[in-house]
Amino acid sequence: MDEEKRALRHNLKNAEQEKLALKGMLERAADEIDDLADADCSEDAIQNAKEHADRIRKIGSLDPNP
């Protein structure tokens, strides 16, 4: 039983690390969208890109265990 508990804890910690890594990736993706949108785009395109970036940030901040 102890070995099973250790394995479950290990799997949980791995899943938590993966979740943190994915959150970081989402944040970087949103930042890159913001940066790209500022380069010679129309105001509508910039606004649209910023809205997409905000949605990505919101997804990254959601708690899967409310």
pLDDT per residue as tens, the chain (66 positions): 799 999 999 999 999 999 999 999 999 999 988 888 776 788 888 888 889 999 999 988 877 665
Q: Which of 31, 10, 26 is nearest to 62 (CA)?
A: 26
Count of CB atoms situated within 10 Å of the CB of 53: 21
Q: Round the average pLDDT of the chain to a whole number and report it.
A: 87
What the block records as the tokens of 18 is 């993966």
In this prediction the pTM is 0.71
Query: Whole-angstrom Cα distance, residue 12 to residue 16?
Result: 6
3-class SS of residue 62: coil
